[in-house]
Every structure is written in C-alpha cells, then in structure tokens.
Amino acid sequence: MHRLYRDLIALRRNEADLADPWLDHLVVDHDEEQRWIVLRRNRIAIACNLGAEAASVPVSGELVLAWDSPVVGDRNTELPGHSFAILRAVDN
C-alpha cells in the first residue's frame, strides 16, 4: 500500500494531466448499475470499479498504474472488484 501511495504521488508529479487543478478540464462517465466511474483529463483516464464484482469499463490505453490486475482490451478494460486503473491514451 505504501508503494502504491508513493507511485501515485510520483505519477501526479510527472503527469501534467493529473496535476491540472481545473475541474472544467475533467470529463466524468459512470454507470451506477455496474458501479464504475471514469475520470478523463486529456490523455489520462482513471477508471474505478466501486463494486465487489468485476466490471467491463469503456476505457482503454496504455496501463500506467493499477490496483489489482486489470485486463486492458482494445475498447474496454476489465476491472476486478474494488480496484482502479490509470491509463494513458495511445496514439494510433
């Protein structure tokens, strides 16, 4: 847990999109029934599964940091229960 906390602090320091304080630059998607939320700011997305069961979340990209073991697909990311993933958009 301590290492994850340190990694999150370092990521915020090194990713301008995570350090941006302006809420109007933030896009939020959610599904109350599936219990997931995605926060997007420019090239970074933070996907969180708030439920106990795994959820398929409509976000993809390069995995930057995660809690547990998400499976990142072309369009969706499968998040285990009570987990998160931080992803960076990939240029095509």
pTM over 0.85: yes
Percent of the chain with pLDDT over 70: 99
| 20-29 average pLDDT score | 88
Which among 75, 69, 40, 41 has a CA at the least distance from the CA of 54? 69
CATH superfamily of 2-88: Golgi alpha-mannosidase II (2.60.40.1180)
Residue 58 identity: P
Q: Convert the pLDDT of each residue in 37-82 to its tens digit.
A: 999 999 999 999 999 999 999 999 999 999 999 999 999 999 999 9
Furthest C-alpha separation in the chain: 35
